[in-house]
Structure 1
């Protein structure tokens, strides 16, 4: 980076900046003749071409085909973002729009509804795909019920706050009766409601004597089986939740079948559990907003997409998720970076 920066004088730096800004605005190559008319200094097209040749040697720009103008390489885009891009403050209009969408309208509004609003908002404002990832949270226990399905099977139903429902089939102890199913559920509802599952398991250790006093052996077994099956569900499947809105935005400007295939790869990547963990790791790997361009991260290297992402935290300053924008490499980085940053700050406040 420093070597490339030291190799640029005022003239070559201005030409490079114009090429990148033109690409970010239109996606089209910028030729020497057009460039010579845009520059604040007087340079002939031939002189501009000489500077372009030097910039190509530095790996910052390239020609998509003979006699074309120049486009920035991925290395050039990274160099521009790090050395040239000025990230301004969020505009009053953008701030008001984010505030309007990312807020809790009432205490009963689910976290998922809030996250969906945030993802939709980022998509609409960026013209990319808005992305929100949240770690799977432990619901607060509201109600428990055991429903017999067969002589040796029952459905264990856990209802959490905001009416999330977890259903799991459990094996019944031999000889358990319907009244014992009800007794076990009543015990959990009376002693353990209003707590998360980890809290319930900890509390159960403390009330073992009460369990033995109030429940018979089969009912005790039912309580432990129910908690065990719910505990196991926390590690099964995907420990994170992904919400992506605005995927159709990524279809705009695609040139042909090759671009469509690359976009399909991106969507496939987003559905993988490892990909979600990778995005969270990317967000956690540095403070504030992170920018990943094209092949800079292995997750989107095949699709050639860019990712702008920032983590958000809970009241204990623990990272519990990430918000971001996925799009083509010609995203409006200077506008989207403060947008993602402010959204992450709002999500952090709402997560406390």
Structure 2
């Protein structure tokens, strides 16, 4: 991954997450033992015992290490899955580690080139670029890659319906920011070239200069009254176009999730199928996931949520690492991230999410 640097934490507020002690409250011995336990757990997924630590270069007896581990457990930073087992970090412990002790690496040059090439290969086909970004993160981070599509807040410049032959037409919408949305819709029976033009004229007269969010509800109401004037086939075309184009509302926006199968590769996950089942159910909660990722839009960098820091993942105990992607003028478009077990490789995934978000922003702004 290249050189390491300290991770700059972002504030995370949650009504159901109680923070543990701060790092300055731990003395040097407790801090070092805590760091080694967390790093060992993140690497192996297994609890770390006092004997392992004493053999790892600590100039302390196993008894002294056990006493410190007990203190850390009482502080809520460590837990024990079994009475005789070693210790592993709690979610509060992981948060303390991520905010105070984590050092992240740089994305390797080869991975940078791969991310750039794969995203730029799609040109101005933004839908494909978003899908590719999600696939990139799921593959490199070995978790589920998630992307929420942008809120469309640019005004409409032009609308057109283009007959493709057979029973299909291409609904084309050009926005004032230069982006284009194309949707294939089924042609209603009896559509003529004049009906296509009539539907295009109707929408252009009412949409030009307005956002879809502003215009869709008014348009639907107006369409009911205009059906007497519009050709029946043209009216159905307008309805089909309005249904196909996203308007920016949560229910209209796409949530792209790739790499669910990666969540089954973790050895602990296989042993804890109930948690995995819960996580898979969480990933189906489109509206809540979009709201979570929209919350990332307010920040300027990577945000991390662990376990109960989000209501959505409190039962599965999963982690989310996400970042906004934005235009060159720093206008936030959406968010992209990785979801996986709390034992994610934070040092690797944080810079991957950050870099992919930045490249995706460049592609969306091209």
Shorter-chain TM-score bucket reads 0.7 to 0.9
Give the alignment of 1:202-351 within 5 angstroms: 218-219=229-230, 226-227=237-238, 230-231=241-242, 234=246, 238-255=251-268, 259-314=272-327, 317-351=330-364
Is 1:159 the counterpart of 2:171? The answer is yes
Give the distance between the partners of 1:259 and 1:159, measured in 2 at CA.
Answer: 47
Give the distance between the partners of 1:78 and 1:97, measured in 2 at CA.
Answer: 31
Superposed CA RMSD in Å reads 3.6
Q: Which residue number in structure 1 is paired with residue 207 of structure 2?
A: 198
Is 1:58 the counterpart of 2:75? The answer is yes
- String of CA shifts for 1:78-126, please: whole Å, max 9, x gaps: 000001001233222332232232223445xx32221222111111111
Larger radius of gyration: 1
Greater relative CO, 1 or 2 (CA 8 Å, sep 6+): 2
The structure with the greater share of residues assigned to helix is 1
Summarize the Cα distance change of 1:50–1:64 in structure 2 as closer, same or farther, 3 Å threshold. same
Asked whether the 8 Å contact 2:45–2:268 carries over to 1, the reply is no
Summarize the Cα distance change of 1:13–1:113 in structure 2 as closer, same or farther, 3 Å threshold. same
Give 5+ residue unaligned stretches, structure 2: 1-18, 173-179, 216-226
Q: Which residue number in structure 1 is paired with residue 27 of structure 2?
A: 9
> Displacement of 1:221 after TM fit?
7.9
Summarize the Cα distance change of 1:113–1:251 in structure 2 as closer, same or farther, 3 Å threshold. same
Is 1:129 the counterpart of 2:141? The answer is no
Asked whether the 8 Å contact 1:141–1:196 carries over to 2, the reply is no
Give the distance between the partners of 1:123 and 1:248, measured in 2 at CA.
Answer: 9
Answer with 75-84 or 96-105: which moved more: 96-105
Give the distance between the partners of 1:85 and 1:122, measured in 2 at CA.
Answer: 20
Give 5+ residue unaligned stretches, structure 1: 148-154, 171-177, 206-215
Q: TM-score, normalized by length of structure 1?
A: 0.78
Give the distance between the partners of 1:263 and 1:298, measured in 2 at CA.
Answer: 16
Summarize the Cα distance change of 1:298–1:2 in structure 2 as closer, same or farther, 3 Å threshold. closer
Give the distance between the partners of 2:121 and 2:149, measured in 1 at CA.
Answer: 17
Q: Which residue number in structure 1 is paired with residue 175 of structure 2?
A: none
Q: Which residue number in structure 1 is paired with residue 220 of structure 2?
A: none
Give the distance between the partners of 1:309 and 1:231, measured in 2 at CA.
Answer: 31
Give the distance between the partners of 2:143 and 2:303, measured in 1 at CA.
Answer: 16
Aligned with residue 102 of structure 1, among 119, 122, 144: 119
Asked whether the 8 Å contact 1:304–1:328 carries over to 2, the reply is yes
- String of CA shifts for 1:115-140, please: whole Å, max 9, x gaps: 22211111111111111111365996
> Displacement of 1:222 after TM fit?
6.8
Give the distance between the partners of 1:298 and 1:48, measured in 2 at CA.
Answer: 35
